[in-house]
């Protein structure tokens, strides 16, 4: 089995080779995707699944696109995955004033939140979208429940992957 080599070039990751998953590992990953993100993930079952390692996470390429990654323990959608697969929940919507900060990796502060899914619990992964077009800006970890996020002050979400970071700029 070949190892996928990814090197860091500033704020960009570069994939030098790929390893296709065996059928048993692909089936296990499909089960995890369906249990985590719902039955809509079954649309991916006929696609080619590949993996690569980079820094502290493993990138999952599906159909040649970096749609998910593992950090040290958890499967997380990439922003490209959220866009491509139209993942919508759990979602937090931020106002236009927050967009430029989100693009630089800032955490989400309560005053910038327009709407938050009330089912969000502290510690959940959330997709942070912008108000006018509904496009994902970042993936983050909730620091408080969804119904508490529209407060006057405080930090609501820790940003973990955002537009413009090295995973967004991955060179395939």
| pLDDT tens digits, 105-138 | 999 999 999 999 999 999 999 999 999 988 999 9
Is residue 172 within 8 Å of residue 13, measured between CB atoms? no
Query: So what's the pLDDT on residue 58?
Result: 82
Distance CA 40, CA 89 (A): 12
Give the CATH number of the domain where residue 122 resides. 2.30.130.10
Q: Per the structure, how many domains does the chain have?
A: 2
Residue 67 lies in a domain: yes
Q: Which two tokens stand for residue 92?
A: 């937090």
What's this model's pTM, rounded to 2 decimal places?
A: 0.84
Please write the tens of the pLDDT for every residue from 51-84. Answer: 987 766 688 999 989 999 987 778 899 999 999 9
Q: Give yes or no for residue 15 having a pLDDT over 80.
A: no
15 plus 30 within the same structural domain: yes
76 plus 105 within the same structural domain: no
Query: So what's the pLDDT on residue 3?
Result: 36
Residue 1 lies in a domain: no
63 plus 125 within the same structural domain: no
Domain that holds residue 52: 6-84
């Amino acid at each position: 089995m070949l190892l996928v080599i990814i090197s860091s070039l500033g704020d960009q990751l570069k994939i030098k080779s790929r390893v296709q998953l065996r059928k048993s590992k692909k089936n296990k990953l499909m089960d995890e995707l369906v249990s985590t993100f719902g039955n809509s993930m079954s649309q991916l079952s006929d696609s080619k699944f590949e993996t690569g390692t980079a820094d502290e996470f493993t990138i999952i390429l599906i159909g040649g696109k970096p749609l998910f990654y593992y950090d040290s323990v958890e499967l997380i959608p990439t922003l490209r995955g959220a866009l491509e697969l139209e993942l919508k929940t759990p979602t937090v919507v931020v106002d236009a004033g927050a967009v430029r900060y989100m693009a630089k990796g800032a955490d989400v502060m309560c005053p910038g939140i327009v709407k938050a899914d009330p089912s969000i619990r502290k510690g959940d992964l959330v997709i942070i979208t912008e108000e006018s077009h509904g496009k994902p800006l970042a993936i983050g970890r909730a620091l408080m429940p969804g119904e508490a996020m529209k407060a006057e002050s405080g930090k609501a979400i820790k940003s973990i992957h955002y537009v413009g970071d090295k995973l967004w700029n991955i060179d395939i």
